[in-house]
């Protein structure tokens, strides 16, 4: 499955956040037989629709979609020079599908800042610079050979042009993602085999003081620093406390700081979206469940997420949109209102589809 790598300078609250992530582990609750790796935190994507579906179907439990976060220790200035930890760090980032930077905005005299002062802007620049330098090195290593090849093989020319363009963007101090050359888009396609880092989608977690959680002016300023990437604001220590509480107590604590859901839940939702994922829903007496698919997946591809046989033997999908189903109150009533659609193999799944697949075994 797709993973989000968590990176950040030392002492910004990564471990605190990651501990909260792993305590929140929905794997332990919902997938008792899964192996849980120490450096992976699996977080449920909050979806209020599941509880509603469970009511309609009398389901015993709900199974949210999940996002995997990987703890990538060890960014330091000079990581791109490939010394010791630096190499391992870059290899770990290469394996991630998105990069989540944790940025310190909290003030605490007892927690040393590596650069001596709290400055989100300069921390972001430090990390972005390491990643951009690593990409520039990759490019400089292959470009002369590519240029030579392209002189005889004309079909290599688009790739060379794309690599030269990427080089210019990086030299200009911009990540490829922020320049619109994001992994999965057509513009990033010719760069694929270089395994560059800054084509990956970025998201930013600002570890803020509690009073900054509701400071809209402050948050707007930070958002502007990282756009078009998404920004999430949370307090890592608070998240760690929340992870120890039951739902009701957690909500009470959140109210005291003007929040309605844990920052980790927000992070999971934004992370899921950043990875280019969406869900569809199924429900029955056993469970109401959100299944993860890529945005743009067809009905047979969606069926394949449940079981490869569902995809191979796919006949059609009976689809009711969540809102229609809730309005009707039952599948039978939705059918009699003409709200149940039979969709074939070319159907592109939509968010909120409640589905039952028909297939040959």
Residue 16 known to bind ligand:
yes
Judged by DSSP in three states, 208 sits in coil
Give the tokens for residue 114. 């590596």
Give the tokens for residue 317. 């999908």
Residue 11 known to bind ligand:
yes
Binding residue for ligand GDP, selected from 235, 259, 266, 279, defined by CB under 6 A: 235
Of 10 and 46, the one with the shorter C-beta distance to ligand GDP is 10
Residues in contact with ligand GDP, counted by CB under 6 A, come to a total of 15
Asked if 111 is part of the footprint of ligand GDP (rule: CB under 6 A), the reply reads yes
**CA distance to 220, 253, 274, per residue, from 89 (Å):** 31, 36, 22
Of 263 and 304, the one with the shorter C-beta distance to ligand GDP is 263
Residue 14 known to bind ligand:
yes
Residue 313 backbone dihedrals phi, psi, to 5 degrees: -95, 15
Asked if 52 is part of the footprint of ligand GDP (rule: CB under 6 A), the reply reads no
Binding residue for ligand GDP, selected from 1, 11, 39, 137, defined by CB under 6 A: 11
Residue 299 backbone dihedrals phi, psi, to 5 degrees: -60, -45
Q: Interface residues for ligand GDP in 87-106 (CB under 6 A)?
A: 106
Residue 7 known to bind ligand:
no
Q: Residue 44 has what DSSP assignment?
A: E
Residue 23 known to bind ligand:
no
| Cross-strand partners of 151 | none
Give the tokens for residue 302. 């969606």
Asked if 157 is part of the footprint of ligand GDP (rule: CB under 6 A), the reply reads no
Q: What is the C-alpha separation between 310 and 325, in angstroms, rounded?
A: 23
Q: C-beta of 46: minimal distance to ligand GDP in Å?
A: 22
Q: What is the C-alpha separation between 202 and 204, in angstroms, rounded?
A: 7
Residue 304 known to bind ligand:
no
| Cross-strand partners of 204 | 101, 231
Q: Interface residues for ligand GDP in 187-226 (CB under 6 A)?
A: 207
Q: C-beta of 64: minimal distance to ligand GDP in Å?
A: 26
Asked if 14 is part of the footprint of ligand GDP (rule: CB under 6 A), the reply reads yes
Contact (Cβ atoms closer than 8 angstroms) between residue 130 and residue 82: no
| Cross-strand partners of 203 | 100, 230
Q: C-beta of 235: minimal distance to ligand GDP in Å?
A: 4
Asked if 8 is part of the footprint of ligand GDP (rule: CB under 6 A), the reply reads yes
Binding site for ATP: what residues are annotated?
11-16
Q: Give the footprint of ligand GDP on this chain (CB under 6 A).
A: 8, 10-16, 106, 108, 111, 207, 235-237
């Amino acid at each position: 499955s797709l993973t989000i790598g968590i990176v950040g300078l030392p002492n910004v609250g990564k471990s605190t956040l990651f501990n909260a992530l792993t305590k929140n582990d929905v794997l332990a609750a919902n997938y008792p037989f899964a192996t849980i790796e120490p450096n992976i935190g699996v977080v449920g994507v909050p979806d209020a629709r599941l509880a509603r579906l469970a009511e309609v179907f009398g389901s015993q439990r709900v199974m949210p979609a999940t996002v995997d976060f990987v703890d990538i220790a060890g960014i330091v200035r000079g990581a791109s020079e490939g010394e010791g930890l630096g190499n391992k760090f870059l290899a770990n980032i290469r394996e991630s599908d998105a990069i989540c930077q944790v940025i310190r905005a909290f003030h605490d005299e007892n927690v040393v800042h590596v650069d001596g002062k709290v400055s989100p802007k300069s921390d972001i620049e430090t990390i972005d610079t390491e990643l951009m330098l690593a990409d520039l090195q990759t490019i400089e290593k292959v470009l002369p050979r590519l240029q030579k090849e392209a002189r005889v093989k004309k079909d290599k020319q688009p790739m060379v042009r794309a690599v030269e363009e990427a080089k210019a963007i990086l030299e200009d101090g911009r990540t490829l993602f922020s320049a619109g050359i994001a992994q999965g888009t057509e513009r990033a396609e010719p760069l694929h085999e270089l395994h560059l880092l800054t084509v990956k989608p970025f998201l930013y977690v600002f570890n803020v003081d509690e009073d900054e959680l509701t400071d809209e002016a402050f948050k707007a300023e930070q958002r502007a620093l990282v756009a078009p990437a998404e920004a999430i604001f949370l307090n890592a220590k608070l998240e760690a406390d929340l992870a120890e509480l039951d739902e009701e107590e957690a909500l009470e604590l959140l109210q005291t700081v003007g929040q309605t859901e844990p920052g980790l839940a927000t992070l999971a939702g934004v992370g899921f979206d950043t990875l280019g994922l969406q869900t569809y829903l199924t429900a029955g007496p056993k469970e109401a469940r959100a299944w993860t698919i890529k945005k743009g997946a067809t009905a047979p591809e969606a069926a394949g997420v449940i079981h490869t046989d569902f995809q191979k033997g796919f006949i059609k999908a009976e689809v009711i949109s969540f809102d229609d189903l809730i309005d009707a109150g039952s599948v039978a009533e939705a059918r009699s209102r003409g709200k149940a659609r039979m969709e074939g193999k070319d159907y592109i799944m939509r968010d909120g589809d409640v589905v039952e697949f028909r297939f040959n075994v």
